[in-house]
Amino acid sequence: MNRSGAGNRPLEGLVVVALEQAVAAPWCTSRLADAGARVIKVERAEGDFSRAYDQFANGLSSYFVWLNRGKESVVLDIKADDDMAVLKRMISCADVFVQNLAPGAIDRLGLGIEGLRRRHPRLITCSISGYGDHPPYNGRKAYDLLLQAETGMASITGTPDGPGRIGVSGCDISCGMYAHAAILEALIARSLTGEGQDLSVSLFDSMADWMAVPLIQFDGTGRGPERVGLAHASIAPYGVFRAGDGSSVLLSVQNPREWVRFCRDVLLDPTLAEDPRFIDNVSRVRHRQALDQAVEAGLARYDRARLIAALNAAEIAFGMLNTVADLAVHPHLRRTDVLTDAGRISVPAPPAISNGCPRPLAPAPALGQHTHQIRAEFSA
């Protein structure tokens, strides 16, 4: 690994070739680009189909701008011999090759991962798929919402009236995160052994890991958690409650000390903490309906401002039920800009801050913006 990168660009000198589209793989490679890796994104003539998801970013796709900053775009017809030759030369010079083509497509193209690893033993390959490499579902196409349903995530999301979708692409994003972490681990291992790795990450496995607690609960009880809307299936009180003026606050009591303080200092009824129905978290969950009624009765004396003051004074965790409009002006929202050919687009800043310094983001490429340069660089 080239160690010339410093500070906020520790992956500088690494080359990543990405045969990718949509969300999961681009999320992974965008974070490698953020850290300084050179990411060459291979696109078809019509481009990554996420370029057409919407037009909300000054006429460009919000998904594409968010997930493809810092990359170079080369248009190749990989079914044509000359363009395939260019791609193979790119891979021969790469440290990492990421692909999330349809099941079986990479083998049909003659780019089987086993052969690539044999020819390039230092290469780290990462294949992202819906269900992984093994039957029975490995040949299925898979997208985020389908996997939210398939893994049971949708069954525990929503209200008692019906299941719901997580409001963002949770399966895709989690899969991209796991792929990113696996690649970084493989880079560390390669620095010690000199050998690359063949990585495989699936949307199903990624969301199944997020479903660990509901699954363990099912194994222990024979039933999964009930859908409770804006409440917590395993902790109470934890949900949205109304103050006397009708305003809503989402509050959470996590441990016995907080429960005693909440009853004494906020609800002004210390006897609730000793009620056998509410004596511990398991009991409170079991008697959630009665608990919620008691909590709302205690909160009825407050308006929003006084309730917030009381919760702060009692050191009880709470949050406001904000909209996206509220997020846009939230005092803790850190923003940064991505430059595009349609102008600057504001996006949330990367969560990790290194040595107190935010990481600037490189531009998102126009379709085929770097085709001529890359063809010349990797010509025979």
Task: Give catalytic residues, as residue numbers.
Answer: 232
Secondary structure class of 318 (helix, strand, coil): strand
Strand-strand pairing, 96-99 and 162-163: unpaired
CA dist 240 and 319 (Å) reads 9
Q: Quick check: 21 and 28 in contact, CB under 8 A?
A: no
The residues, ordered by sequence, that sit 6+ positions from 226 with a Cβ below 8 Å of its Cβ are 156, 160, 233
Q: Quick check: 242 and 230 in contact, CB under 8 A?
A: no
Residue at 234: amino acid letter: S
Secondary structure class of 71 (helix, strand, coil): strand
For 262, phi then psi, to 5°, come to -60, -45
Beta bridge partners of 238: 252
Nearest to 20 by CA among 5, 1, 7, 39: 39
Which DSSP string corresponds to 250-316?
Answer: EEE--SHHHHHHIIIIISS-GGGGG-GGGSSHHHHHHTHHHHHHHHHHHHTT--HHHHHHHHHHTT-
CA dist 120 and 170 (Å) reads 33
CA dist list (Å): 371 to 83, 93, 216, 368: 11, 17, 50, 5
Q: Give the tokens for residue 262.
A: 């909440």
Residue with tokens 């009824």: 269
CA dist 274 and 260 (Å) reads 9
Q: Quick check: 348 and 335 in contact, CB under 8 A?
A: yes
Residue 270: cis peptide before it, omega within 30 degrees of 0: no
